[in-house]
Amino acid sequence: MDAMPPPSDKDGLKPYDGPQPVDMLPEIFIKDAFAEDDERLWVPLAPGRWSRPLCLNASNGYWIHLTRVRGGGFLSRHRHPGPVHGLVIKGSWRYLEHDWVAKAGSYVYEPPGEIHTLVVDDDCEEMVTLFHNTGAVLYCDENGVTTGATDVFDRIRTAREHFEAVGLGADYAERFIR
């Protein structure tokens, strides 16, 4: 963790040092979310697909992470029972059901219930998007029938297994869990 900056500036501004709620959880601070210097922090999900966990929220059932995809193609057809917020950091992707292309700087709100088909076009070498997922991702077939699912508990388990396998230890995942 980095050292605290000086507590006051020229105007005499001081940090609040009064009581905080006793049940308050600790903050999460990640200095380098892109983890460019440590590939171990990217959890592999499938060939050419990784997830960099930022906040795995077991108490409210959501997770915030960076999705990284290298190489274009079909990723998944899926439905979200809860809302999704996405902010594209790098590259581009789109849903076959919409006429827009999400590019670096694009923000997307995905409404609960929508079934959509995620593709990364072949001319995109690497895509990185911050996603805030709530509840689950329900994978669907071409008829919209659910064929599989993932939720924050899967993400926690997968992260623990990966961090153990790469030598960071399963407990490395704890810093992302609230």
Binding mask 109-128 for Fe ion (x = CB under 5 A): -x------------------
91 residue type, one letter:
G
| Interaction mask 66-105, Fe ion, x per CB under 5 A | ----------------------------------------
Q: For residues 110 and 151, which CB has a smaller minimum distance to Fe ion in the complex?
A: 110
Cβ at position 25, least distance to Fe ion in Å:
28
Which residue has the closest beta carbon to Fe ion? 110
Question: Which range touches Fe ion (CB under 5 A), out of 15-23, 57-65, 108-116, 162-170?
Answer: 108-116
CB of 114 to Fe ion, least distance (A): 8
Query: CA 176, CA 178: separation in Å to the nearest integer?
Result: 7
The residues that touch Fe ion, with contacts defined as CB under 5 A, are 110
